[in-house]
Homo-oligomer: A and B are copies of this chain.
């Protein structure tokens, strides 16, 4: 029989307090790296597949500059076993990444493995099409030629956004374990709306957006001019990016995760879950 709950049933990694602390600290990282990226121009060419013929000729790379930069960076990080961590997913096709050179770490198996989802393709497209044009709007030049510096920041922002959105799986697992019986029906009837309702806390979301705006106002201050009202990033735009993508996309990941949460379990396993008390 498949073990529906691995031994570390009440893993501290799944406590909502822990998850909340990680997500809040990630807001700071996302903001810092967005502000760092926002000092450079939009540089549309960096995001166009095939715009640098040298990448095609010398690296057999058909994608864009930033995707190539992602692969180079993720190759180094893959060697350091970054993507063995259950909250880290590469943007690059794992088949193109090297194997870790360090021995594997035994991570506690807190997620249900058959449920894990990779949302990075959607995150990348949204970042390229929405985030970059939004945050670089105040740079007068459309192209400053600083492709290396800008791409370094792109990689940092993308990786923080990806970690943030995939952390939804921990939220889902935590909530599932706290009341499995209430999830089983909606999972079996593929009812996305009901699952979303089970994991959504409108008051928490509202508080997040208020906190985020406050942080963007503080960390976005430009203290290099005498003008205290100057900002390096528009706080309202950051809030919009969270409201329109980060939060709903996290829910997509959360629901996708839940929909696969019973895969591979027998009827008896599921019945046992249904009878079990909250962990």
What's the dominant secondary structure at chain A's contact region? helix
> A21 within 8 Å of B by Cβ?
yes
Question: Complex formed: what's the CA distance from A25 to B24 in Å?
Answer: 26
Q: Does A109 contact B (CB under 8 A)?
A: no
* Cα A128 to Cα B243 with chains together (Å): 40
Q: Which of A204-242 contact B (CB under 8 A)?
A: 211, 214-215, 218-219, 221, 223-224, 232
Other contacts beyond A25-B39, A28-B232, A54-B103: 17, CB < 8 A: A24-B224, A27-B224, A28-B223, A28-B224, A29-B36, A32-B36, A54-B101, A58-B101, A72-B76, A72-B79, A73-B73, A75-B76, A80-B151, A156-B156, A211-B223, A214-B223, A219-B219
Chain A residues near B (Cβ < 8 Å): 21, 24-25, 27-29, 32, 35-36, 39, 52, 54-55, 58-59, 69, 72-73, 75-77, 79-82, 101-103, 105, 145, 147-148, 151-152, 156, 211, 214-215, 218-219, 221, 223-224, 232
